[in-house]
């Protein structure tokens, strides 16, 4: 279950930012998780609830936005529909993932004295 | 300090980060990649389920590759050194990475192991990942290419069940083809159709480490990749599947 490793990276990143900005309390974290990122949101939330109380993130809410996978043709720019093959039906070019594989820390809301 | 009304309360501010949570791993992976490049080494991240035949494949690779160049490996394993010992016995200079409870290798673990591996003169370096079709997929290790082994005994729908793993494969090896006569419910064609559902450019080879079927194609692919790495060091980290040699089938 690599979601614990992801939460460890998340906490490290927040700790770094808290130190750099002299923040006192972290209120909320905004994270974006792609459908094809290999991270399960339920497991990520469980890992966060388990791991965060002893860290700088104690008491901070984790807001996770799920990002759907989108495939497009790099030549025609048309969107490809998952489940109908990942090649462009017009030109035959292999599709390219335009979103949905990201695991991104977007924003931290924290108290700055 | 709140400067709206002068109340003295601390102010909650949003701080934009917009950074991948894998950024630290990716930086370390890039460091490993540079290490491989400097030594002219082609590094393969070999992934697949427990028991799909990764170690047997590497043993067969060592037999077939004998004399053609130097091979080295690290093997990720939760609890034993069995795989590294088998690879060493087969003639591949190997080292174990014991992960304990960790279900995947990351760039830091591979980097630490590289301090104990002599890469001078090595042509191919195999990173035998922990047997798992989920977690290893998302961690860049600094490899030249990702290879996923899928044994015929695992069933036809594994690509559909584990799309992230197969989507990130530069090459899929369908292993244990010698067992196909005993698997009336498994169709190679269906496996390949399923690969095309999750991979825009599926590239695959069917082989058996027992009979040697398909090993020529595998060695050809490795040789092609090694040449690509050696002659075009500034090339992007992953080879382009569209340039793969003809022995590799496109789905």
B2 min Cα distance to partner chain A (Å): 8
Tens digits of per-residue pLDDT, B132-177? 999 999 999 999 999 999 999 999 999 999 999 999 999 999 999 9
Given a cut of 80, is residue B10 above it in pLDDT? no
Please report how the helices B215-231 and B54-65 are oriented relative to each other, as an axis angle in degrees rounded to 10.
80
> DSSP character for B27?
H
- Quick one: which H or E segment has residue A16? helix A3-21
pLDDT for the residue numbered B98: 84
Given a cut of 80, is residue A100 above it in pLDDT? yes
- Beta strand B171-175 with B249-250 is unpaired
pLDDT for the residue numbered B89: 93
Q: Give Cβ neighbours of residue B170 (< 8 Å, ≥ 6 apart).
A: B145, B146, B147, B203, B238, B239, B241
ipTM of the complex: 0.93
pLDDT for the residue numbered B242: 56
Domains of chain A, CATH where assigned: 3-112 (3.30.2320.80)
Given a cut of 80, is residue B251 above it in pLDDT? no
pLDDT for the residue numbered A30: 98
Percentage of chain A modeled with pLDDT above 90? 85
The per-residue pLDDT of chain B, averaged, comes to 89
pLDDT for the residue numbered B79: 80
Is A99 within 8 Å of A69 (Cβ atoms)? yes
- Quick one: which H or E segment has residue A46? helix A41-51
Nearest to A108 among B15, B25, B137 (CB): B15
Nearest residue to B112 (alpha-carbon basis) of B31, B233, B39: B31
Tens digits of per-residue pLDDT, B231-249? 444 444 455 655 667 667 7
pLDDT for the residue numbered B6: 62
- Tokens 């419910």 -> residue: B185
Q: Which two tokens stand for residue B162?
A: 């584990």
Q: Which residue does chain A place closest to B160, by CA atoms? A: A83
Tens digits of per-residue pLDDT, A33-83? 999 999 999 999 999 999 999 999 999 999 999 999 999 999 998 999 876
Which residues of A touch chain B, with CB atoms under 8 Å apart?
Answer: 1-2, 5-6, 9-10, 12-13, 17, 21, 24-25, 27, 31, 36-39, 71, 83, 85-87, 94-97, 101-113
- Tokens 């894998």 -> residue: B22
Q: What is the pTM of this model?
A: 0.90
Residue B10 sits at the chain A interface (C-beta within 8 Å) = yes
Among B200, B241, B251, the residue to mutate for chain A (most A Cβ within 10 A): B200
pLDDT for the residue numbered B235: 40
Helices (H), chain B: 23-38, 54-65, 82-89, 107-114, 158-161, 163-167, 188-198, 215-231
- Quick one: which H or E segment has residue B14? strand B11-20
Contact check, Cβ <8 Å, B15/A17: yes
On the 0-12 / 13-18 / 19+ scale of CB atoms within 10 A, A41 is middle
pLDDT for the residue numbered B102: 78
State how far the Cα of B83 lies from the Cα of B159, in Å rounded to an integer: 25
The per-residue pLDDT of chain A, averaged, comes to 94
Q: Give Cβ neighbours of residue B204 (< 8 Å, ≥ 6 apart).
A: B171, B172, B173, B174, B192, B195, B248, B249, B251
Contact check, Cβ <8 Å, A38/B12: no
Reported confidence tier of residue B82, pLDDT bands at 50, 70, 90: confident
pLDDT for the residue numbered B5: 65
Given a cut of 90, is residue B17 above it in pLDDT? yes
The CA distances from residue B35 to B41, B145, B149, B234, in Å, are 9, 15, 26, 13
State how far the Cα of B200 lies from the Cα of B179, in Å rounded to an integer: 28
The CA distances from residue B216 to A8, A105, B68, B142, in Å, are 43, 45, 13, 26
On the 0-12 / 13-18 / 19+ scale of CB atoms within 10 A, A45 is middle
Q: Give Cβ neighbours of residue B147 (< 8 Å, ≥ 6 apart).
A: B44, B45, B46, B47, B169, B170, B171, B172, B173
Nearest residue to B195 (alpha-carbon basis) of A35, A85, A100, A39: A85
pLDDT for the residue numbered B68: 79
């Amino acid at each position: 279950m690599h979601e614990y490793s992801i939460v460890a990276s998340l906490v490290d990143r927040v700790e770094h930012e808290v130190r750099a900005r002299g923040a006192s309390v972290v209120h909320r974290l905004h994270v974006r998780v792609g459908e094809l990122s290999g991270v399960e949101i339920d497991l990520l939330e469980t890992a966060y609830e388990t791991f965060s109380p002893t860290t700088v993130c104690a008491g901070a809410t984790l807001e996770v936005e799920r990002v759907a996978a989108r495939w497009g043709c790099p030549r025609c720019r048309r969107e490809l529909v998952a489940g109908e093959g990942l090649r462009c039906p017009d030109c035959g070019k292999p599709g390219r993932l335009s979103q949905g594989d990201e695991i991104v820390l977007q924003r931290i809301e924290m108290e700055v004295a | 300090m709140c400067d709206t009304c002068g109340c003295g309360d601390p102010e909650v501010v949003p701080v934009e980060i917009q950074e991948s949570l894998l950024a630290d791993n990716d930086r370390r992976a890039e460091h490993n990649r540079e290490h491989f490049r400097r030594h002219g080494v082609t590094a393969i991240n070999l992934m697949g389920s427990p028991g799909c035949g990764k170690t047997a494949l590497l043993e067969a690779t060592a037999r077939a590759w004998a004399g053609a160049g130097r091979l080295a490996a690290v093997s990720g394993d939760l609890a034993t050194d069995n795989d590294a010992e088998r690879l060493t016995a087969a003639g591949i200079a190997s080292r174990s990475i014991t992960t304990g409870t960790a279900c995947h290798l990351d760039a830091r673990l591979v980097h630490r192991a590289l301090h104990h591996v002599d890469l001078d003169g090595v042509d191919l370096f195999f990173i035998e990942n922990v047997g798992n079709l989920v977690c290893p997929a998302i961690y860049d290790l600094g490899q030249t290419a990702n290879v996923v082994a899928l044994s015929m005994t695992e069933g036809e729908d594994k690509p559909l069940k584990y799309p992230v793993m197969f989507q990130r494969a530069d090459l899929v090896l369908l292993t244990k083809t010698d067992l196909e006569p005993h698997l009336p419910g498994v169709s190679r064609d269906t496996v390949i159709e399923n690969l095309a559902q999750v991979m825009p450019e599926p590239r695959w080879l069917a082989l058996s480490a027992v009979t040697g079927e398909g090993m020529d194609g595998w060695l050809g692919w490795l040789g092609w990749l090694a040449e690509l790495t050696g002659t075009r060091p500034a090339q992007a980290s992953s080879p382009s599947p569209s340039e793969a040699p003809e022995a590799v089938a496109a789905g």
